[in-house]
Each structure stands twice: as structure tokens, then as C-alpha cells.
Structure 1
Amino acid sequence: MSTPSQRLVAGLDLGSTKVIGVIADAAGTAREPLVKILGVGTATNSGVRRGVVRDIEETTRGIVKAMRDAERMAGVEVGTVYAGIAGEHVAGKSSHGVVSVTGDEIRTSDVARVNDVASNISYGRDHELLHAIPQDYLIDQQAGISEPIGMTGSRLEAEVYLVTVLSSALHNLGKCVERAGYHVGEFVLEPLAVSLAVLTPDERELGCALVDLGGGSTNVAIFQGGKIRHTGSLLCSGGHVTADIVQGLQVTQQDAEVLKDRDGSAYEPLVSEADTIELPSTPGQGPRTAERRVLAHIMQARLQEVMEFAQNEIAQAGYHQRLPAGVILTGGGALTPGVVELGREVFAMPVRCGTPAQGLTGLADSVESPRMALAAGLVYYGARQVWQTGFGTGGLRSPAVDKWFGPVKRWLQDFF
């Protein structure tokens, strides 16, 4: 049986080393979430660096390959995608708004007014608002109110978390998607999407840090009370681990990636002193071997530094020793053996790897990996949109897709 086009959703992960496209059927409901994975496609990519397009043509080719492969696997075509965005050009800040209430009780229009007041600040000439996420409300200076509609009071205040993005970076990503023949339904802050795929409701409520160990950057997000409270991006990443292996073992970057994936470890104590690895020969060097612990030592040193930077980000945000649910690691770096053990040592709190699993059917095994957390989270985000509005991202591609320059701000009142 074919999937109705209004239930189709597509997610696009535009990473520094890869592009991933996922197509899914929003088969469930808001009360019973269920996402059926229909198709997955991947492509190598060097056209994006830390969330910023460096080569439009290279990035466009990656999108075309990943999405076409996903469409062939799914047996459908889609016209619109949900695309992730993150990096040092994305920033989050809290804002406060206050309005007077004239009626007998607080109405939806009052909440909309106070939210708009809180978000009506200057973002700078070259930035724009990506998301506005209500945090908490106060009624007549009484705090801790999550849903003020229907309550009585004369003064309504709102704390809103605003996520802004560099306009040029946003629109260049949009151009790449357009050139590939698709429309951007919405750009989504990557940690928000990832959280839908890997965090449990208890983790979001109690307090946790989501650390995405990507190839081009490391993204940190803090959740507590069911809301995102902080987001940040670190320059150190999996790419630095690869560069260290190149220098330390005198191999090419391609061979360093192979060694990292095949023989690597993030925690030296887990590696036997007797283990050896074969190093690829290079011009001027014959066959070589090295102790596997040497590779582990190189990788642990860099990954420990990455985690220490993440720990510092958490502390500077004011959440040191305030996250009972600990740290959840995602991204390609979370696949490294020993990364959880190293994380527990560095963060001194519970640590686990986040793998998409909840509410997934169909080709679910295709996305059950920390490396696929963002792509899976994007289709889950899109599925929630379908369940709320009844509209998905289905529909055939068009050779002439309207340029994406529409509003990107989305109130996430009902999402988190």
C-alpha cells in the first residue's frame, strides 16, 4: 500500500563529512508517536565546514545523491525537506517579556502577545531569528507556570529562549537545497531535532546535556524541565582526531579515518598492551606496525580535550552538578569504543550513547546509530508537524523550486 503524500516527511543532515537523507511516513499520532522509516541515502561531502557552505556545487551534489538514493529505497519522491543547522554562527539567548491582562482570564492571544514582546529584540543586521522557545511564565510574579491559558491574573510575563542564525549561512544552505531540486520546509536547530530521537522524557525533565560529536564541530545542548535551556558549538571535533592520527602515525587522512574506525579506541586502559595494528605503507615507507595503544593514546588525548571543552560549556551555562540525567553522546564520535568510559571519567556523571530507537518502525535499523541521530530526529520533527497540522512534505520535485527566502522563525510552544 502506498503512503499518502501528506504523511511523507524528509530529513536532511548537511554535515562536514557527509550528507544524509531520510524519508519516513508519519504513521502515528501526537498521542501515539510512530515514524516508519522508508528510505535512507548517504553521500560524502566536503562542501560544508562547521555548518557553513564552502562549496555550493559540492554540497548540491551530495544532497542530490543522498536524497535520490533515499527516494529510490522508499519508492517515492518528496519535494520538501527539514534541514538541520548548527555551528558557531548559531546562538541562543534568553529574553523576557511582560504584558498586562485585561480580561477575566488569560487567553491564547495574551500568551501570543507576551511571547512576541519577548522576541521583539535586535538580532543584529546580519542575523535572524530561527526559533523562539517559551521556557516559563509568571502570573502576577508567581513563577514556575508552564501553561498560563485559562488562569487568572493581571500581569503576564514570559521567559523565551531565542535561537538566532547568521543570515548568509542560512540562505547559502537554502540555495544548495534549491539547486538540488528541493524546498526547505524548515531549518531546525540540530540539538532540538537530535533530542527528539535520543532523549527520554525523564532525561529532558530531570536535566541532561546532549553532546553531539560531529566531524566538523561539537554541539552542546542542555535540557531541563522539559525545555532546552542552552546551546553552544565548539570548534574541536572528530576532524581534529583524524588530524592528530595523521601527524602521530604519519599516514594519509584517508588512512587515518580507516584506522580510527577500524582500530580506534577513546580509552587507552581498554586496549591490551599486546595488540598491534598494521599501518598503511606510504611513499618512502614500507609495511609498518604500531602498538594499538599508541593509536588509543592519540585519540583519547584529543577526545578528552573535546569533552573538557564541553564540560566547561556546561559549567559556564550554570549547570555544573545540576544535571541528574547526565550526558548523552551522539554523532559519529559516539561510535568510538571506550567513549562512554572516557566520558564518565571526564564529566563525573552518568554518560550513555544516544541511539534513535523510540517510536521507529519500517527500516528502523537503518537509522539506529548515533551517527544517524540528527537525520532521524529531523523526520521525527517533521512527523510532529504532520500530526499537528495534517500536512507533510510529500509531492513531486519540481525543476523550478521557488526560492526559499520565507520566514524561518517557528514558535516551539507545543514541541518541547
Structure 2
Amino acid sequence: MSKGVIVGIDIGSTKICAVAGIMDEVGKVKILDIVEEPTQRGRVSNGTVVNLEFTAKDIDRILNVLSDKAEINIHNVIVNISGENVEGKAHQSFLTRDDSRSTIRKEEIERLAVDIRKSFRPTAGNIIIHTFPQEFIVDRAHVPDNPIGRFGITLGGNFFLISTPNDPHLALRRTIESVGVKVQNNHRFVPLKIVHTLFTPLADAMAVLSEIDKKLGVAVVNIGGDTTEIAIFQESGLRHISVIPFAGKSITNDLVKAFQILPDHAEKLKLIMGAIPPDEVGKNDIIKIPGVEGLPDKEIVAQNVSIIIEERVKEIASMVMAEIMHSGYDGQLISGVVLTGGTSNIAMIKEVFTKVTNGMNIRVGNTIRNIGQTAVAKIADPKYATVVGLVLSGFMPLDERVPEEVIWGDIPESQVSIGSYNNGFDTPNSKLNGKKEEPPQEEEQSGGGIFGWFKKKVSSAGKIDMGDDKNYTN
């Protein structure tokens, strides 16, 4: 794993946040400091950075403040990946071992992972960013744990691969790597090095989940500003991901339309009322909103605000439940749902999710779980789960069953000299190797809003690629 100081950068639609961490003398990750700024309008849309130039300037400014506060030099950063176009699919592959009289070795698992990536075909224009093992298969027997040391003729595995559109991903990496961070009293600037990028709810999982949670079955649900992102784990493997284009800003927009107020006032109204349990809101409580441009102040009934917030939270919870059912793991998530993101701080959210999910175990994620000392008490807030998880991923394995190179898509050293395996790895420096890129397939327009989202989910149901070797499954 990476050594020295690691900085996680969470680029969200409501905030850009950077956290510095280091491994302490007892093997725990110590959080050094945190710096955050509100995301300026027009920088990020639906989880995707749309203004790279100005976002790079924001990151440059934030990292220089962090460098001064924590008294550190910053070289290595880990950045989150979000957006509606992030996709995840299961894929299966097998290989026949050269020597079945010896036990399975690490190099053979690496070779299997390379074959998985070579044979997997993501959506045209997408790049594979993560390759996670679900379970291995040794002579038709499913092995959820590490198969190293077992005997067998065939070695196979079910893997879950995550991809994202190549162009914006590559542009984001190049933009961040162009940022220079000051060192040695401002006399020298060095470019940042991106250790890796990580899909947002997987970063959250690093911060809020235990291995027992993943084994028993759990859904991590990050309710951010523009999007709600979901990652489902079961039997220690990543099973399903999804991005829903409705989140905290949907509540803000509802308040703007309902009371004809400015977005800034609606956001403050949401934060105030979201922190108050509905049963503590009096029927006659009034909230005064200052007038704008000479208009009189507005008086709003607090209970009406609470009702609007509750209805939108119910809607988001219903879409999350629909995704859990769509994944096929409804009734199998013993550890339930863990909520993260800023919107999970709404006081009523746990009660609403419990009702909508028919009594599933619901909890708000606490990011203290996997870290040691911290210089800032507020780091336990669920809205910082992503950025803390990014730091943790620089020091801790995402899955102990495979080498880290397998997950990030780098070629393990043991496989470098084997043929042309690098053809199956889409890295920022990879080329098409003479192959003509296939044109993207046309998709039926499903329209916007909630009904468009549901139509899109229904039309994609059942399209799961399990490879060409289905006869090996039990």
C-alpha cells in the first residue's frame, strides 16, 4: 500500500473536501486535518465535474490551505468518481491450471483477473476502473474465501467490474495532476500524483463498514446533493451498484417551488428543519424568511416544511428500496442499510427509511470505525464518509483476497511478461493497439424525472453479463 501522507479529495455537488491522513506507529490511520469549501455553481452536475479548469483552481486553493494547516507536503491524492453513467456488471471466467498437482498460487489468481478484464466488454466509450472478486470457483465448487493453497484442475471466478465514461475520467485525472502543490516555503511546485480513483459509495464502505457487514449483506447508500449512490455487498463480495439522480437538492428545489423563495434560503430552511424531528415541530410554529429586493418578509408554517422534507425523503427511500429489489438481494441484507452523505443528517431519515424498507436495519454511518487518532472531531459526520474512506483506501486493502493491482486494473508484476495481457487493461496511458473503437449504441430516450428513471431501470433489467462459461456454475 501507499506510504507517507495520503490526501483524499471528495468532489461533490455541494462541497469540495480534502482530508490528509498518515499511518501511525500502531498501524492505524491518523487523520491530520480537513479543509472544505462549498462547490461553486456550475462546477459539478449530477456527480460529474463539468468545469474542470475552475474545479482545478478550487482544488489547488484547498490543498494549499490544507498543506499549511497540517504542516505537510502533499504529493499523493485519491479522488472519488461519481455520476449517473458509472456502471457495474458481473462477469465470469475460467482457466485450466498447468499443474493440478500443486496448490493454487497468487500468480494464477492474478492471471484469472487479467483474463476477466480482457474478456469483459464495457459499454462503448467506457473505461474499467475497478475489478472486485465476488467468489472463486475451484473445480465447480464455490469458494468465497481466498483459494490460494487449494488443489484443483480449473480455477474460475465471478468478478464485479465497474466502468465509467473514458473521456471525462481521463480529463479529470489530467486536470488534477496538473495542479502544483507548494513545498519548501513556496519555492518549488510539484504536480500531484493520483494514487487511484474510487467510486463514491465504495469509499464510504471503507469508512463505515466492517468485514462482518459485508459478509452478512449490507447496502451503503450515499445521499448527496444531486445523486444517491448505492453499493450492495453480500458474502464479502460487491454485488450491485446504482446511481439515482435524486438527492438533497431535490428537497431544496421542492422548498423553492412550494414557498417561492430563493435557493439559498431554501437550503438554510432544509438544514434547520431537517435537524428537528417531525414530532417536535409545533402546529403553530412560524419561520420568517427575509424579503428580497424590497419585498416583504415571508412567514412559513414550519410543519409544512417538515411535511415536504418527509415526502421527498420517502420518495428517495422508495427508489433505494426499488434498487435493492432490482438487485435480487431483497431479504438477504442482514446488516441492512447504512446511510451516508450530507442528506443522511436529516433527523427523520432513519425512521422514514425503516418504514419504507419494511423494517430493515437502518443506521447512519459513523466514520470513526476504521481510523485511529484524528485532529478534527467533526470527521465522524456521515457527510465526510467519502473523503475519509478515500484516505483509508490508500493504506488498507479494499479486498484482501486479491492483490491491489487487480482491483485498480494495473498489471501485476508476475503477469507483465505473459503475452500481451496489457491489452485488456484500460489505463489513462493505454492505446487502442490498432483496434477500431465500436460506435456507441443508440438508446431509447426515456425522458426525465422520476418516471423516466423508473422506465430506464425496468428496460435494463436482466441484462447481466455472466460470461461464456455458465456451465461451470452450480
| TM-score when normalising by structure 2 | 0.77
Q: Give the 3 Å change call, closer, same or farther, for CA 318–22 of structure 1 in structure 2.
A: same
Structural RMSD (CA): 2.2
SS in 1 for 2:313: helix
Percent of aligned positions that are identical: 26
Matched, 1:331 2:341: yes
Task: Name the amino acid aligned to 1:90.
Answer: V
State whether residues 95 and 160 of structure 1, in contact with CA within 8 Å, keep that contact through their aligned partners in structure 2: yes
Between 160-169 and 199-208, the greater mean CA deviation after superposition: 199-208
Q: Are 1:189 and 2:199 counterparts?
A: yes
1:283-322 equivalences under 5 Å are: 283=293, 285-322=295-332
Whether the 8 Å contact between 1:119 and 1:160 is mirrored in structure 2 is no
Kept in 2, the 8 Å contact 1:39–1:71? The answer is no
Q: Residue 36 in 1 paired to residue 30 in 2?
A: yes
For residues 274 and 148 of structure 2, the distance between their equivalents in structure 1, rounded to whole angstroms, comes to 53
Partners of 1:314 and 1:320 within 8 A in 2: yes
Which position in structure 1 is the counterpart of 2:386? 374
Structure 2 residue identity aligned to 1:350: N
Distance 1:174-1:266 versus aligned 2 partners, 3 A rule: farther
Residue deviations 1:43-62 (CA, integer Å, cap 9, x gap): 22231112322212321122
Name which of 209, 222, 225 aligns with 2:232. 222
1:16-415 matches, cutoff 5 A: 16-27=13-24, 32=27, 34-45=28-39, 46=41, 47-103=43-99, 104=101, 105-120=103-118, 121-181=120-180, 182-264=192-274, 268-283=278-293, 285-348=295-358, 349-358=360-369, 359-384=371-396, 405-406=428-429
Q: How far is the alpha carbon of 1:287 from its aligned partner?
A: 2.0
Picking from 4, 8, 15, the partner of 2:5 is 8
Aligned partners of 1:239 and 1:310: how far apart in 2? 17
Q: Does the 8 Å contact 1:264/1:295 carry over to 2?
A: no
8 Å contact from structure 2 (residues 78, 394) kept in 1: yes
Structure 1 residue runs of 5 or longer lacking an equivalent are 390-403, 408-416
- 1:195 is displaced (CA, Å) by 0.5
Query: Which residue number in structure 2 is paired with residue 401 of structure 1?
Result: none
Residue 208 of structure 1 and its aligned partner are, at CA, apart by 1.0
- TM-fit CA distance, 1:340: 0.9
Measure how far apart 1:270 and its partner are. 4.8
Matched residue of 2:129: which SS? strand
Secondary structure in structure 1 of the residue aligned to 2:288:
strand
**Distance in 2, Cα, partners of 1:176 & 1:44:** 20
Task: Describe the shift of the 1:212–1:270 C-alpha distance in structure 2 as closer, same or farther (beyond 3 A).
Answer: farther
Answer with 12-21 or 106-115: which moved more.
Answer: 106-115
CA-CA distance at 1:266 after TM superposition: 8.3
How far residue 89 of structure 1 moved from its aligned partner, in angstroms, is: 1.5
User: 2:144·2:235 contact (CA, 8 Å) conserved in 1?
Assistant: no
Q: Which amino acid letter does the alignment assign opposite residue 347 of structure 2?
A: P
CA displacement at 1:28 relative to structure 2 = 5.5
1:300 Cα offset (Å)? 1.3
What is the alpha-carbon distance in structure 2 between the residues aligned to residue 296 and residue 36 of structure 1? 39
Deviations 1:326-362 (A, max 9, x none): 1111000011111111111111211111021022313
Tell me, yes or no, if the aligned pair for 2:230 and 2:242 is still in contact at 8 Å: yes
8 Å Cα contact 1:43/1:63 also seen in 2? no
Aligned partners of 1:381 and 1:178: how far apart in 2? Answer: 19
Matched letter for residue 14 of structure 1: I
Does the C-alpha gap of structure 1 residues 159 and 28 become closer, same or farther in structure 2, counting only changes over 3 Å? farther
- Look up the equivalent residue of 2:97 and give its one-letter code: V
What per-residue deviation string (whole Å, max 9, x for no partner) do you get for residues 244-302 of structure 1? 11111111011111111122358644533232212222336312222211111111111
Q: Which amino acid aligns with 1:122?
A: R
Please, which runs of 5 or more residues in structure 2 have no aligned partner? 181-191, 405-426, 431-474
* Superposed displacement of residue 144, structure 1: 3.1
CA distance in 2, matches of 1:136, 1:28: 34
Q: Secondary structure at the match of 2:258?
A: helix
